[in-house]
Amino acid sequence: MSAIRERLPNETLVYLGDTARVPYGSKSPETVIKYAWQCSNFLVEKGVKAIVVACNTASAVALSELSRGLKIPVLGVIEPGAEAAIAKSKRRAIGVIATQATIASNAYGKALKSLDGEVRVVSRATPLFVPLVEEGWVDNEVVAAAVKRYLEGMHDEGIDVLILGCTHYPLLKNAIQNEIGVDVQLVDSAETTALALEQLLISRDIKAVEGAGLHRLYVTDLLNKFEQIAGNFLGCEPPNVTRVDL
């Protein structure tokens, strides 16, 4: 949302966080697809003109079904992330770290191979990174131990790009970069997804070109801290957030 807001300041963003049922990354494809449909239907009812599935797990598991079933365009974060990684890799060897569900889907592997049939992909599930970030631990000795354990030997596989395949992982950038080494570039899909969204809106001639977006934020579970955290992420005053049932 932060990257999209920056690139597309005239758009009104309707944000939905399914906080009552997170995390998605450890759940089965059937359940993730069911939740993704409920979230999408909610947004469609709000009258949106396009949907960004801003979650790697939901993108990996549910995007093709949503695209087939919805009448408005749907954009995931996997393809933009894969494109950015391919553009940056000179050795044509790319690492991917993500949740269990994303890795099991092989969505990044397929997206990367469809862009470059010769690229080598090294994938690892690193599920503990999500709760570490949720705990607010992004650069302490627990993080260092977890990063070391997960990434062990990955550098020796010859990768020169590592995709951070979960929206939480960019917050662990320091610890991940320290472990993987400075010769491996980290890629997250926020900015490339915002760019892909802009191209999509332009190609369909539905890009807003004036006015300021009046954003609305919805969550399925509302903890006290959420509005403060949202303000920190967006670099603004704590926004109004509404709790909804799906």
Q: Pick from 2, 46, 91, 135 the residue near a second copy by CB under 8 A.
A: 135
Round to whole Å and give the CA distance between 14 and 241: 11
Phi, psi values for residue 28, rounded to 5°: -75, 155
What is the nearest approach in angstroms of a second copy to the Cβ of residue 246?
Answer: 12
Site for a second copy contains 228 (CB under 8 A): no
Q: Is 39 a catalytic residue?
A: no
* β-pair type (14-17, 120-125): unpaired
Crossing angle (nearest 10°) for helices 190-203 and 78-88: 110
Alpha helices in 152-243, H assignment, sequence order: 173-180, 190-203, 225-234
Q: Is 236 a catalytic residue?
A: no
Task: Give residues 25-54 in contact with a second copy (rule: CB under 8 A).
Answer: 26-28, 30-31
Q: Pick from 78, 132, 186, 230 the residue near a second copy by CB under 8 A.
A: 132
Question: Which residue, 116 or 139, has its beta carbon nearer to a second copy?
Answer: 139
Question: Which residue, 117 or 153, has its beta carbon nearer to a second copy?
Answer: 153
What is the nearest approach in angstroms of a second copy to the Cβ of residue 123?
Answer: 17
Q: Which stretch binds a second copy (CB under 8 A): 65-73, 107-115, 140-148, 151-159?
A: 140-148
Q: Name the token pair of 163.
A: 């995709």
CB 206 within 8 A of CB 75: no
The 169-188 contact track toward a second copy, x by CB under 8 A, reads --------------------
Residue with tokens 């592997």: 109
Round to whole Å and give the CA distance between 117 and 73: 27
Other beta carbons within 10 Å of 31: 13
Sheet of 241-243: strand order equals: 14-17, 216-219, 241-243
Strand ranges, E, within 19-89: 51-52, 74-75
Question: Which residue, 80 or 165, has its beta carbon nearer to a second copy?
Answer: 165
Question: Which residue, 201 or 219, has its beta carbon nearer to a second copy?
Answer: 219
Q: Pick from 6, 157, 221, 237 the residue near a second copy by CB under 8 A.
A: 221
Candidates 85, 166, 175, 190; catalytic one:
166
The 111-130 contact track toward a second copy, x by CB under 8 A, reads ----------------xx-x
CB 78 within 8 A of CB 63: yes
Cis check: omega of the bond before 73, within 30 degrees of 0: no
Q: Which residues contact a second copy (rule: CB under 8 A)?
A: 19-21, 26-28, 30-31, 127-128, 130-132, 134-135, 137, 140-142, 144-146, 149, 220-223
Catalogue the active-site residues. 55, 166
